[in-house]
Amino acid sequence: MRGVRYLIDENGQKTAVLIDLKKHGEVWEDFYDRAVAEARKKEPRESIAAVRKRIAKGSGRSN
């Protein structure tokens, strides 16, 4: 695939990838968004009702 290069270790295993962002920027954005979502998976959540209530009060985020 043009615009994609792999870093290969001494055992012939692919260990990293170099992506031409001019050619594949959207693919990188999708990958990055998925990685961020996975990293945040266990973070505390706030219901939409709680967010609306907080916004209506005009206050900042509660801890």
pLDDT band at 58 (very low <50, low <70, confident <90, very high): confident
Nearest residue to 21 via CA among 34, 37, 38, 3:
3
At residue 1, the pLDDT reads 84
The percentage of the chain sitting over the pLDDT mark of 90, rounded to a whole number, equals: 86
Q: d(Cα 43, Cα 58) in Å, to the nearest integer?
A: 24
Task: Answer for the pair 8, 15: CB distance below 8 angstroms, yes or no.
Answer: yes
State the residue for tokens 């979502």: 37
pTM of this prediction?
0.55
* Extents of the domains making up the chain: 4-57
Number of C-beta neighbours around residue 24 at 10 A: 16
Q: 3-class SS at 30?
A: helix
Mean pLDDT of the chain: 91
